[in-house]
Structure 1
Amino acid sequence: MDAEASRDDLQADEVAVEELLTQLEELEASVDDPDERREVQRAIRLVDKFPGDGVRESIKKFTRRDIAESFVGAILISLPMLLEDGVFEIAEYLLATPWLFAVNAAFVVLIAVSLLYFADIRDVDVHRPIFGVIPRRLLSVLVVAFVTATFMMTLWGRLEGWQDASVALSRICVVWTVASLGAALGDILPGESSGTDINDELDDLGERVGIGDEEGRF
């Protein structure tokens, strides 16, 4: 009986904290004064640190740790492709049919979007998007996967010294397709990362060096 009562109290506390976070985020969006907005952001970060499972069932924060996890995931999933000569055959096919580059890029974005926001793996929210439109996590996954594919293919001599840029790009695009899958999974599988949101770190940096727009944001 006591255990059930304790569980009910814990659930009630988690709901209360979630409601408080929601209200603070609504307040953050409504205030105009930069100093007041920063105070609200500090309050959100403080509440986010409250202990207890279930306080954040969904993934909202985007941290440097998420980028590192995407990098590791991209490497692990793309390693077999880095060793296979089949990459060259697929790249030649893409190069012979240029419009397939656009189709392949759209397919990569579709994979990333599906894994991040529609697959029943984690509940991932689009939180504080770039320019109010571009999801930070999606852009990070795609960029990290592309940079990882480019770096590894160059490092392991799979691009023949970039003698032909079009051939090199086509091979990178093939590996990028697989690396984006690993980057997305590496990001969301561990759950929401601990640490400070990247936007908050940039705001704090802007305060220290005196740069940023009138709201303290980049």
Structure 2
Amino acid sequence: MAPSEEPHDIGDVFDQLELLAETVDSPEEREQVEEVMRMAVEAGNADSSFGQVIWGFDRADAAEALLGSLLFGIPMAVEGGTEEVGRFLVAHPLSLVGTMLFAIGLTTGVLYIADIQDVRVKHRLFGVIPRRLAGVLSISFITAVLLLTAWGRINWAMTPLAIASVTVAFVPMSIGAALGDILPGS
């Protein structure tokens, strides 16, 4: 290695394995490459000097996302300002859509762009949406609906206000879910 080159880390190994996975011909070969990728993740995560590579989305990740969503969402459920902002969003539908898109974009940024951890996409839904992103967003949205409904913070007879209030709570809950999922590094 030349003096000017930076040392390689587990992320570099993972990048090379991903390139290799794209070139294999059979499902058996793909399975072998994915097994080596799992081993690389475990080896890299065992030694913090290599950093964290997060790959796949399982029940443990979903539980971490739920916890993060609740930690950020409980204050939204007890705060009266959630409904107040919801009323504003009902009166301004473009702001409602913008708020939802903002939450999705911010969550995507936390997971894949902020470089808090080296988060890799293992599976995509419909070939496009990363399963981790879909899981984190779904968990936080469903948690917002259930929490606000169970605590009597929304009235579904007033559906537009209920949806707007859920959207307001969804913003910090999606960020909390993303952070809860990736910060433990699993």
TM-score by length of 1: 0.70
Greater strand fraction, Structure 1 or Structure 2: 2
Distance 1:183 1:87 in 2: 18
- Asked if 1:108 corresponds to 2:103, the answer is yes
- Asked if 1:181 corresponds to 2:175, the answer is yes
Aligned to 1:143: 138
TM-score by length of 2: 0.80
Residue in structure 1 matching 2:38, options 16, 37, 45: 45
Distance 2:27 2:132 in 1: 25
Give the SS at the match of 2:164: helix
Aligned to 1:88: 83
Distance 2:120 2:32 in 1: 23
Higher-Rg structure is 1
Give ranges in structure 1 of 5+ residues lacking alignment.
1-11, 194-218
Aligned to 2:4: none
Aligned to 1:34: 27
The alpha-carbon distance between structure 1 residues 133 and 112, as it changes in their structure 2 partners (threshold 3 A), is same
Tell me the C-alpha RMSD between the 2 structures: 2.5
Moved more, 64-73 or 32-41: 32-41
Aligned to 1:205: none
Instruction: Write the letter of the residue equivalent to 1:33.
Output: S
How many residues were matched structurally?
178
Give ranges in structure 2 of 5+ residues lacking alignment.
1-6
Aligned to 2:160: 166
Aligned to 1:66: 61
Instruction: Write the letter of the residue equivalent to 1:119.
Output: A
